[in-house]
Chains A and B, each alone.
Chain A
Amino acid sequence: MKHDTSLALEYRTEENENRILGFWLFLGAEIVLFSTLFTVFFTLSHRYGNGPTPHELFELKGVLWETFLLLTSSFTCGLAIHSMRLGLKKPMMTFFIITMLFGLGFLGVEVTEFITYVHDGATIQTSAFLSSLFTLLGTHGAHVTFGLLWGTAIMIQVKKYGIDEATANKSFIFSLYWHFLDVVWIFIFSFVYLKGLM
């Protein structure tokens, strides 16, 4: 079968198209991973022991900041890929840098939140609710941390080599990962925080 050359640059070779397909398969596995963590959370979320309840623990302000920061970084990541497809390296880099900064901001708020929890005596060992909460949030936060390192490494490559088949492919795959983390956050925002505060 002849390879479709009318597609965007990141799909231009068969190998690169397969890399993107492979990454989607990985995201399928990630959906299952986070589903199991949500399962654990939903199963244990009423086992407070001597620890705090969601109403006593959660603070809406930080959560709203996290949501805003991650939604915006997902948006600017989409704009970075859009610029890439127009062949504009400079705006692509700018949007990527903004994406990373918002991601870093998200992580900063989350770390502050964790420190506040632990300071208030709500640690991962306090109750089953908190164990499952920290596991779910921590796994997501670890993904964001890895994404920041990965995204930075790709930005360095784009800066060095420009937008070519290889860097476009890597950047696009990274954007899939970043948007996926936003999707996971939407579910954490809705079914951990908002449901907990209902």
Chain B
Amino acid sequence: MKQLFPVKHVMGYIFSLILSLVALAVVFFDMSFAAGMTILLVAAAIQASLQLFLFMHIDETSSKKTLYLNIVYALFVGLVTIFGSLLAMIWGIV
């Protein structure tokens, strides 16, 4: 039975629940927009990495560099799309 629940997985699960609770703090505590967004960003980034490395085993084969590059590139395109649009349409800087 014990071998079915590896410590790493259980810890990862508990940690992701804790991170969700940490993110939840932005709703219940009075804080600035910048502070709230920082907490949300950091908690989400850690949770996403947990999934990638722990549950999706992204780093276990020799093609891991290809996989990292693929994910980083996809994130780059995604972030440019998001922040480029915000710059042009919401923040009015460009």
Contact = CB atoms under 8 A, between A and B. Distances in A.
B4 A191 contact: no
Nearest to B30: A198
A71 B55 contact: no
Given A179-B51, A183-B48, A35 B6 contact: no
Contact of A35 (B9, B17, B60, B79): B79
Contact of B23 (A4, A17, A183, A189): A189
A98 B80 CA distance: 38
Contacts of A78: 9, 12, 54-55
Interface string B52-70: 1011101011110011001
Majority SS at the chain A contact face:
helix
A77 B70 contact: no
Contacts of B78: 31-32, 34-36, 38
Task: Classify chain A: how many residues form its interface, as a range.
Answer: 35 or more
B58 to A, nearest CB: 8
A198 B60 CA distance: 39
Mostly, the B contact residues are: helix
Given A17-B61, A175-B55, A195 B37 contact: yes
Interface string A34-64: 1110110011000000000000000010001
B81 to A, nearest CB: 5
Contacts of B26: 194-195, 198
B40 A190 contact: yes
A127 interface: no
A194 B16 contact: no
Interface in B12-64: 12-13, 16-17, 20, 23-24, 26-27, 33, 36-37, 40-41, 43-44, 47-48, 51-52, 54-56, 58, 60-63
A62 to B, nearest CB: 14
Contacts of B40: 190-191, 194-195
Interface string A97-114: 000000000000000000
B43 A24 contact: no
A188 to B, nearest CB: 10
